[in-house]
Structure 1
């Protein structure tokens, strides 16, 4: 078990001795799944890819996931306050609702606003983050215009615990345990953060927006996973995440609850043919009381995926699949309300081929959205290994974003003709 108290500095003097006692390890290129929806070395992906590992998180000790993302090329982060405040992430200039966010493979953005609450993620519960820049609608459908950010939750091996404290009366705690056997592994990881925060208002901005009290934040979250080997050819994985946060705004209060659960069944159908069936559920609830004006939004999303990976010889990999998701949203305030839903079904194909030092990736997809209609997207990527340590690629792709439920149905501001 590791107990870490940030205020103590003595353990830092032990690091050189500990490092000297460890054998030299050769870093291997990380294996990613977000660029092509199947496993491949990050160095071989014909796309601009970054991976934030658990080692990176331990080394940098970020206050939030936003601290990790803002260090990456092509990403801009905007926050309107301190810890837990509303934030936006822009990838390659695309708006926040034009970046697909996945948690353990599950679409995590709100169905109403189309945005994801990055501030709800706790770095203590993250194993790695994969960032793929550029259009990816051919593989994922709607929203993947600027790219894809996929967060993988942490799976513990044994006990883990930490306690931290810092400025603005900020305290963090994390505790979890992971174990199992050769055929069944499980992990549970809980985290809590509490901060008095600071006032983000400008005292010169006027009485209406200025409130000298601090913008406090507290959040409790838990992740859980179960991985089971059902047979020599079949594996089952279940991953879940839940976060409840409360943010004290100037003249207001916001409660946010987010959760995702994903289930995947993978099996080898025949030699060279792997199938996977996936189910995902995401929920995003938010209630705000601002100077007596109350509003609430309750959204959920159900997703299904069927994917086939076919090895056509050593140099060719064909991926065929189909996606379905249904969005449902309920919004209400003191003057208006709506309760609506929409759905999308998509089919896709992606071929990756290697010819000596050259790689080619070609993909095509068709989506049919219940409100937005049909859309066809495609991508072509060419890569070449120039030297042993240098690789070049060029890529072209198209992408789209289907309107969110707010875009379609929000009272007095929506456009049902989208």
Structure 2
């Protein structure tokens, strides 16, 4: 009889404990935020409803990868190979996704296509971007020529720059220091310096953002076995202004400059050399958006100017200009069926200069 009472008492306590535990768990509500992507449809779309293979690198992921370049961060994605990120900071880059090469991988910045007509493959140089100015990255693997043209034969990389804070004023400062040497070197020294500052905020219907970044990296040679290190020095500036006229219409404008100076060696003879590559980029653009009951109209327009100069035994100069206008309308027939209709205009121009044999001027 006593054993029966003891067993019932233990059972009652156990049920009481389970009841309390269940109540405690119910009092904490857990919510899962639905991740959205825009690269698949040009509009915010639930990732679970996307028919494409999309990898999204969020702002939280970028925070964990501080000190790495945009190319290094993208190269960590499964199925993406960026040749050159494991060399010195100024190494030329090549992109390979699903068997495609540079000319078949399209890069967008805030939804606007960016290219460099002076490059052989018309591809964009990721070395121009500063990782501290990036909010998120979407990588869409697979052909997307219907929405983005023939340049998106194997993949689209959409890089979204940071937006203004909801506060009236927000100041952000960041500095990252690191070593930079090969695996067989034991002389540890601070050779990588990355600094950025950003001021942004929102005042009523007006929002603003201004940021500046700098990187200086040294310590590695551009060729294997080189004894002289080749430095990489870059500066970036970005200004973004927006105004919300009403719930239906808003306008965003931006202007930016990105430039770098990279030392490189004689890759043909595998010898140290005092060669220099200089690239300068200037971008301006505007993105008005109008929403109506059944959809919205968006226009992305941008002008891009790139100047490149090669100082070597075969000096050359390149100037390239691009104008891109992407206008599209989304009309919703229902919650599950919609259409996207638009027009994309591009004008790319390039001129190059070289010094003829026996001459001294371009």
> Which of 337, 343, 357 is residue 322 of structure 1 equivalent to?
343
Query: 1:284 Cα shift?
Result: 2.1
Cα distance in 2 for partners of 1:24, 1:123 equals 35
| 3-state DSSP of counterpart to 1:29 | coil
Structure 1 or 2: more strand by fraction:
1
> Which of 171, 177, 201 is residue 159 of structure 1 equivalent to?
171
Q: CA offsets, 1:265-297, max 9 Å, x none?
A: 1112x4203112221112222100113x21111
Pairs within 5 Å for 1:82-121: 82-113=88-119, 114-121=122-129
Cα distance in 2 for partners of 1:265, 1:218 equals 35
Query: 1:96 Cα shift?
Result: 1.1
> Which of 29, 32, 36 is residue 31 of structure 1 equivalent to?
36
Q: Is the Cα contact below 8 Å between 1:153 and 1:223 reproduced in 2?
A: no
> C-alpha root-mean-square deviation of aligned residues, in Å?
1.9
Q: Could you tell me which residue of structure 1 aligns to residue 23 of structure 2?
A: none
Cα distance in 2 for partners of 1:52, 1:106 equals 18
Pairs within 5 Å for 1:264-279: 264-268=287-291, 270-279=292-301
* 1:223 paired to 2:246: no
| Structure 1 unaligned blocks of 5 or more | 1-22, 204-210, 337-418
Q: Could you tell me which residue of structure 1 aligns to residue 13 of structure 2?
A: none
Q: Could you tell me which residue of structure 1 aligns to residue 151 of structure 2?
A: 143
Cα distance in 2 for partners of 1:28, 1:186 equals 27
Q: Is the Cα contact below 8 Å between 2:286 and 2:302 reproduced in 1?
A: yes
Q: Is the Cα contact below 8 Å between 1:106 and 1:262 reproduced in 2?
A: no
**Number of aligned residue pairs:** 305
Q: Is the Cα contact below 8 Å between 1:267 and 1:274 reproduced in 2?
A: yes
Q: Which deviates more, 124-133 or 298-307? A: 298-307
| 3-state DSSP of counterpart to 1:110 | coil
Q: Is the Cα contact below 8 Å between 2:90 and 2:263 reproduced in 1?
A: no
Cα distance in 1 for partners of 2:308, 2:335 equals 49
Q: Could you tell me which residue of structure 1 aligns to residue 72 of structure 2?
A: 67
Q: Could you tell me which residue of structure 2 aligns to residue 344 of structure 1?
A: none
Query: 1:139 Cα shift?
Result: 0.5
* 1:193 paired to 2:215: yes
Q: Is the Cα contact below 8 Å between 2:112 and 2:326 reproduced in 1?
A: no
Q: Could you tell me which residue of structure 2 aligns to residue 375 of structure 1?
A: none
| 3-state DSSP of counterpart to 1:124 | helix
Cα 1:260–1:25 shift into 2, 3 Å? farther
Q: CA offsets, 1:11-64, max 9 Å, x none?
A: xxxxxxxxxxxx987442322211111221122111000111111010122421
Q: Is the Cα contact below 8 Å between 1:176 and 1:189 reproduced in 2?
A: yes
Higher Rg of the two aligned structures? 2
| 3-state DSSP of counterpart to 1:190 | strand
Query: 1:241 Cα shift?
Result: 3.1
* 1:255 paired to 2:255: no
Cα distance in 2 for partners of 1:54, 1:88 equals 25
| 3-state DSSP of counterpart to 2:68 | coil
| Structure 2 unaligned blocks of 5 or more | 1-27, 181-190, 266-272, 358-362
Q: Could you tell me which residue of structure 2 aligns to residue 399 of structure 1?
A: none
Cα distance in 2 for partners of 1:153, 1:236 equals 16
Name the TM-score, length of structure 1 as normaliser: 0.70
Cα distance in 2 for partners of 1:148, 1:230 equals 32
Q: CA offsets, 1:88-126, max 9 Å, x none?
A: 121112001110101112221211321211122211110
Q: Is the Cα contact below 8 Å between 1:84 and 1:120 reproduced in 2?
A: no
* 1:214 paired to 2:229: yes
* 1:301 paired to 2:322: yes
| 3-state DSSP of counterpart to 1:143 | helix
